[in-house]
Structure 1
Amino acid sequence: MAVCCDLEVDVNGEETFMVDKKVIASYCGRLSKLFGKSTGSARNLKVIFNDFPGGAENFELLSRFCYNSGRIDVTPSNISFLHSGSLFMEMNSSVSGTPNLLEETEKSLKGMNFWAWSELLITIKQCQDLLPFPSSSGSLEKCVDSLIGRMATSSEPSPCPSTSSPDSSGVRFSCDTGSTESLKNSCSRATWWFEDLLVLSTNLVEMVIKSMVLRKFDHSIISRFLFYYQKSKCYTGTPDEKRNVVETVIDMLYILDWNSVSFKSLFGILRVSLNLNIRKCSRTKLECMIGSQMDQATLDNMLIPSPYGMNYLYNVNLVLRFLKAFLHGGISQTSPTQLRKVASLMDLYIAEVAPDPCLKASKFLALTMALPDSAKRFI
């Protein structure tokens, strides 16, 4: 029996398929509505899709479902494609008593909490490749919820003691060498997922982090992951890709408890960002986070070269913005110890930049007057 191929389907300009109109339309409500109840023998019918989720690969998968009498194995490796495709093609009607594809995929998604971790990663990676369609369908949110739920049940809420500094842990995923073996194991349980989530795009990282914050994850663990993500992603990639990563990481760090964020690592991001021309709003957030912990800074931290094209040696304007952020809550909100450290630091900084012949007198004066006299008495 000859195979009928009376419908030409152009999928996103990637590939053109010749299919049986009757077979495909019987399962796809979108095409069924398009063709109506016509039984004419018109030839050379053509449909063009410009935004088909999953492209040609997914259309071929859906076609197999149709040609196989409405049967297909729904697995974690294809469920994102099948679900988004069935929604797009309105495959929500049963044919000859077989379950419709949309119903099958949604039933499988409900069992996502019982999947293996590797299966969740495969599915969320596919959702990522299909954006923005999975977001509108709700399947992406289900994936993220399951992913974070698995992380929560496998990690302890406070893997490291609150007295340990984020700087001491950095992104090495281990506690202080003097810690007990059980504490090391606890830290490992809290960070085992870091490497796996490097496959996520910045959009998904933002979605995951916000969900983790809502679920009361330890902010120090979240910040360590963000620094790890930034360092890993910035090894390669174009300047635009690096800029996007850095901006996303800064924006996510900003919503955390800043006391849980490594001051040393913030300066690491600052050095990277200076060469990337990041958005002003992200730069301001980073400066606020650094400035709020300025009492932890060293003179070396402050000696940041001036921007390209400037004559003076050091970026005095940046340090002044740090000071503004440090004093944002008012001097009454700052402890005498913090004021003493920052005042001493500024004395060292002023002594270092003073010999610069290109430094304008107005900038030097601004540095000397940045801290109120009431702060200097703590020195």
Structure 2
Amino acid sequence: MEAVCCNLEVDVNGEEIFIVDKKIIASYSGRLSKLFGKSNATTRNLKVIFHDFPGGAECFELMSRFCYNDGRTQINPSNISLLHCAAQFMEMNNSVSVTNNLLEQTEKSLEEINYWTWPELLAALKKCQDLLPVEKSSGVLQKCLDSLARRLALATEASPCPSNSPESSGFRFSCDSKSTESLKSSLSRATWWFEDLLILSPILVEKAVKSMVSQKLDHVIISRFLLYYQKSRFYTARPDEKRKVIETVIDTLYTLNGSSVSGKTLFGILRVSMTLNINKSSRKKLESMIGSQLDQATLDNLLFPSPYGINYLYDVNLVLRFLKAFMHGGISKVFGVRLGKVSQLMDLYIAEVAPDPCLKPSKFLALAMALPDSARNFHDELYRAVDMYLEVHAGLLEEEKLKICCALNYEKLSAEACVHLSHNKKFPSRSAVQALISQQYKLKSLLHGTNNSRSLTDSPSTSSEVRSKGKKDEASKQVVLYAGKLDISSESEKLRAHLQGMQWRVIELEKVCRKMQTQMAKILKSRVSSHGHTRSLPKLCS
């Protein structure tokens, strides 16, 4: 047997110095072989310094043992990533024989990954994590993650969890004890791996989730794992670690289906993230997710205090960004019930922030006009908010007041609101006139309908008579309301006279209708008594 000559000194990352046989190590390492060339000189005191050897001293020792043991070593899940990285770094693929080729041996062992036990797979992942970022390029990490995701997907299919139901935001157990136990068991089977993956770093969690998504694991289960991970890691983490964890959770949730996490949960994450100064990209993603579910929010959810350095009581800019994200999908996607809910929510929010004396007119107007006009059927609530804002900000110029009033659609104000506005000294006189004009058009429309009711039809209908009478009563009430109660300025006297004339016209029409209805009743009664049956009569008033 050839004597071992320790003629090479190797400094591994400054951790430890190894004295080895240059010839033995170089015979397996292409990197050292090229470094020393074909020289057979027995020069002593050769020294090699590695600053970035993967896995450090532990990894170099494993690699050396392989070389000293004639290219044989025991490869297992706990050391396969170390050996694979060392083989790549030292270029240990130059051996003709696969038996003596460390890179080939590790890759062959990886083919058996599906037969590893769950603890062995976790041990391999933990070791890969310790080797980051070098491990990224080795391929061992990705194979471990893919194997993990496949196992979780198979386990979920075998034991489906009720988490993907419409009420997945919280498990609602049945009162029946058997049903309750069954659901608890299903929940346990679907989430048994949560605790095991707490050993993973945020970087590895993000990679693991990508593999889970590729294996079509239920997004609701994934989102619950991420929330569990965040909560568990926060107990012992430092502020900078917490920031990294929550950024990872946000960035990963953003890649999942929007319905996999509730709006309430997202608002909770936002409140936590505000104390950690997370990066702008993650903050934008979180706000986008919240905005897409804004119709699920409540007023309390939106009342975030203003950031440091801004005088506003509440963070109005944040809510404006929520609204922008909500409308980002286009009006066709949010039209209907969802848009109606958001408009009601915004009316409440605007009324809440209106008394803030520091809120600038431009910000108030931006809130009031953030949604399209079609979002609101009525503008009474918005009018009250504007009224409140003008009361608190009494020093505004007339021009500024007019700009704020542009947010109101006077045609969507009720008669009562218009009357209130006409008496409201806080509003510009031009706004009062616009409100009256819009109501005038409404009255004309109602009266036009009354005139049309005088047309003759072949078959009288009691229900149509009632509807017509309701229209006339409404028209009469509104005319009286405006003509009798409004204190209109001198520039609008003509409008007042016109409204009074409309009132008398409605009264005269009602008298004519009542008289004609009485005559019709008499004729109908006489026809029934003489012929025993009725005949269709012309409908004179309906």
Normalising by structure 2, report the TM-score: 0.65
The 3-state SS of whatever aligns with 1:155 is helix
Match of 1:172 in 2: none
Q: Mapping of 1:262-301 within 5 angstroms? A: 262-301=262-301
Match of 2:489 in 1: none
Q: Mapping of 1:16-31 within 5 angstroms? A: 16-31=17-32
Which amino acid counterpart does residue 374 of structure 2 have in structure 1? S
- Cα distance in 2 for partners of 1:204, 1:144 equals 9
Per the TM alignment, residue 323 of structure 1 is displaced from its structure 2 partner at its CA by: 1.2
Which amino acid counterpart does residue 219 of structure 2 have in structure 1? H
Which amino acid counterpart does residue 13 of structure 2 have in structure 1? N
Farther-moved stretch of structure 1 (29-38 vs 47-56)? 29-38
Unaligned runs of 5+ in 2: 380-542
- 8 Å Cα contact 1:77-1:123 kept in structure 2: yes
Query: Does residue 32 in structure 1 map to residue 33 in structure 2?
Result: yes
Deviations 1:307-362 (A, max 9, x none): 11222211111011111111222333224322232222222212222222222222
Match of 1:222 in 2: 222
- 8 Å Cα contact 1:27-1:95 kept in structure 2: no
Match of 2:510 in 1: none
Identical-residue share of aligned pairs (%): 69
Match of 1:350 in 2: 350
The 3-state SS of whatever aligns with 2:11 is strand
- Cα distance in 1 for partners of 2:306, 2:376 equals 27
- 8 Å Cα contact 1:167-1:263 kept in structure 2: no
Which amino acid counterpart does residue 313 of structure 2 have in structure 1? L
* Greater RCO (Cα-Cα under 8 Å, separation 6 or more): 1
Query: Does residue 176 in structure 1 map to residue 172 in structure 2?
Result: yes
Q: Say how many residue pairs are matched.
A: 373
Farther-moved stretch of structure 1 (287-296 vs 19-28)? 19-28
The 3-state SS of whatever aligns with 1:8 is strand
- Cα distance in 2 for partners of 1:215, 1:205 equals 15
Match of 2:135 in 1: 134
| Closer, same or farther: CA 339–378 of 1 in aligned 2, 3 Å | farther
Match of 1:308 in 2: 308
Per the TM alignment, residue 57 of structure 1 is displaced from its structure 2 partner at its CA by: 1.1
| Closer, same or farther: CA 378–77 of 1 in aligned 2, 3 Å | farther
Match of 1:201 in 2: 201
- Cα distance in 2 for partners of 1:321, 1:228 equals 28
- 8 Å Cα contact 2:5-2:21 kept in structure 1: yes
Match of 2:331 in 1: 331
Deviations 1:183-211 (A, max 9, x none): 33222222211111122222222222122
- 8 Å Cα contact 2:13-2:52 kept in structure 1: yes
Match of 2:93 in 1: 92
Farther-moved stretch of structure 1 (43-52 vs 67-76)? 67-76
Which amino acid counterpart does residue 337 of structure 2 have in structure 1? T
Farther-moved stretch of structure 1 (206-215 vs 316-325)? 206-215
Match of 1:256 in 2: 256
- Cα distance in 1 for partners of 2:331, 2:81 equals 54
| Closer, same or farther: CA 14–375 of 1 in aligned 2, 3 Å | same
Query: Does residue 119 in structure 1 map to residue 120 in structure 2?
Result: yes
Q: Which has the larger radius of gyration?
A: 2
Match of 2:65 in 1: 64
- Cα distance in 2 for partners of 1:111, 1:378 equals 68
Per the TM alignment, residue 182 of structure 1 is displaced from its structure 2 partner at its CA by: 2.8
The 3-state SS of whatever aligns with 1:17 is strand
The 3-state SS of whatever aligns with 1:223 is helix
- 8 Å Cα contact 1:156-1:186 kept in structure 2: no
| Closer, same or farther: CA 273–97 of 1 in aligned 2, 3 Å | closer
The 3-state SS of whatever aligns with 1:48 is strand
The 3-state SS of whatever aligns with 1:156 is helix
Query: Does residue 75 in structure 1 map to residue 76 in structure 2?
Result: yes
Which amino acid counterpart does residue 82 of structure 1 have in structure 2? L
Match of 1:239 in 2: 239
Match of 2:167 in 1: 165
- Cα distance in 1 for partners of 2:57, 2:163 equals 52
Deviations 1:230-254 (A, max 9, x none): 2222333333322222222212111
Match of 1:171 in 2: none
Which amino acid counterpart does residue 37 of structure 1 have in structure 2? K
The 3-state SS of whatever aligns with 2:9 is strand
Match of 1:5 in 2: 6
- 8 Å Cα contact 1:26-1:95 kept in structure 2: no
The 3-state SS of whatever aligns with 1:245 is helix
- 8 Å Cα contact 1:70-1:95 kept in structure 2: no
Per the TM alignment, residue 267 of structure 1 is displaced from its structure 2 partner at its CA by: 1.0
- Cα distance in 1 for partners of 2:123, 2:57 equals 19
Which amino acid counterpart does residue 114 of structure 2 have in structure 1? N
The 3-state SS of whatever aligns with 1:47 is strand
- Cα distance in 2 for partners of 1:271, 1:367 equals 22
- Cα distance in 1 for partners of 2:96, 2:48 equals 23
- Cα distance in 2 for partners of 1:357, 1:378 equals 26
- Cα distance in 1 for partners of 2:62, 2:266 equals 46
Q: What's the RMSD between the two structures over aligned residues?
A: 2.2
| Closer, same or farther: CA 161–120 of 1 in aligned 2, 3 Å | closer
- Cα distance in 2 for partners of 1:138, 1:167 equals 37
- Cα distance in 2 for partners of 1:357, 1:252 equals 40
Per the TM alignment, residue 14 of structure 1 is displaced from its structure 2 partner at its CA by: 1.6
- Cα distance in 2 for partners of 1:163, 1:2 equals 71
- Cα distance in 1 for partners of 2:330, 2:46 equals 72
- Cα distance in 2 for partners of 1:273, 1:35 equals 55
- Cα distance in 2 for partners of 1:61, 1:111 equals 21
- Cα distance in 2 for partners of 1:65, 1:183 equals 52
| Closer, same or farther: CA 79–111 of 1 in aligned 2, 3 Å | same
Farther-moved stretch of structure 1 (185-194 vs 266-275)? 185-194
